[in-house]
Amino acid sequence: MGCCCPSEKSKTLTESVVGEEVAKDRLEITGSTNLTVENRQLQEVDSDTYIIAVDTRGKIHNKALLDKFNIREQHTNLLREENGQLEVGKLYPIQQVKNFILLPLPLWKGGHNNEITILESILFDLVGWLKSQRIPSICLDALGVKYFGFPRQVMADILVKAFGQFFQSDTTLKSISFVSPDIFCVHHFEVKMKTLVPQKEIIKEGKQVDDKPQRAASYLSELEKPLLEDR
């Protein structure tokens, strides 16, 4: 008769690596544009517009998002119109009850092929487009992390640099939500986001997460380990 107790393998990433339950609402910064960092999946956050990273074939890895918002047919039609090949950096909108922006990204190849410069250009163009569209709220995840291989620190640096523009200019964008189910990725977003604003504007902050290599090594890619060890 099988044991009904949860096995070590069945533990969540948060429980097995961090060792305790971590609050989902991690960081909230108030201002003309409110900003939140959340330890959640993209489809768990309510927003007007979602930014979704895809490869040049247009593949969406988050199947739950496709199902929740019922955009499989629109996604298939878009790929058919583009002959199954999307251009890196070009925006591909899908309009349903919500707005979805597919954003093809390059793969991380160790930083030797100008990936950082290319990604910075893509995200600054995205921010310019968002400003022109007068969108009230957006939600995006770590984009290039995991499936595209970008190290967490690199992606956090670039995203915060690009979206930090909303804190220096008038905009109709009222809220930005950065989300990730990976608590260590969330940690890097928190650290970088707090550099954007005075401490008094931070109205909610989660408990600090230890991401030192000895705690997180089992979940780090080989590309990320040297970056953390240098800290």
Q: Is the pLDDT of residue 207 over 70?
A: no
Helices (H), 50-151: 63-69, 72-81, 115-133
pLDDT of residue 202: 56
Mean pLDDT of 113-140: 90
Each residue's pLDDT tens digit, 66-110:
889 999 999 999 999 999 999 999 999 998 889 999 999 999 988
Q: Which residues of 78-92 are buried (b: 16+ CB within 10 A; e: fewer)?
A: bbeebeeebeebebb
Take residue 39 and report the two structure tokens written for it.
């330890």
Q: Give the whole-angstrom CA distance, residue 178 versus residue 91.
A: 19
Name the pTM for this structure: 0.77
Smallest CA-to-CA distance from 99 within 63, 71, 76, 64 is with: 71
Each residue's pLDDT tens digit, 145-197:
888 999 998 998 898 888 877 766 667 788 889 999 888 888 888 888 877 76
Q: 17: which DSSP letter?
A: I
pLDDT of residue 47: 93
pLDDT of residue 108: 92
Q: Is the pLDDT of residue 203 over 70?
A: no
| Residue 205, beta-bridge partner list | 27
Length reported for the chain = 231
Cα angle for residues 155, 189, 143 (degrees, 5° grid): 40
Each residue's pLDDT tens digit, 32-64:
778 888 888 999 999 999 999 999 999 988 888
